[in-house]
Amino acid sequence: MIDIDMGDDLLGGDAGDAGDQIDGAGDGEAFSDIFVPPSPGADPLTQALKKNPQSVGLHVATGEFSKALDLLKKQLGVNDFAPLK
């Protein structure tokens, strides 16, 4: 049997616990339910891929697996991709 410690926050602690703190309050740890949208602009991975189109790792990170496999074949001569699954 596995014992998982869920902490006091999930077990019905007081409403004024540290889990409800707003930025700058309390002991340095700040939590908030406020949603902050991402900054506008192009995706950083896509920008990095434009700068270095021969990077296999960046292709994998952006989800372009077929392009990544083609690059592995060209750059390293990998023919059997089954061990990479």
Residue 78 tokens read as 């990998």
Residue 79 has pLDDT above 60, yes or no: yes
| Residue 81 CB contacts under 8 Å (≥ 6 apart), including other chains | 69, 72
pLDDT band at 27 (very low <50, low <70, confident <90, very high): low
Q: What is the DSSP letter of 15?
A: T
Q: Maximum distance among all alpha carbons in the chain?
A: 60
Whole-number percent of the chain with pLDDT over 90: 26
Helices H, strands E: what count in the chain?
3, 0
Q: What mean pLDDT comes out for the span 3-30?
A: 55
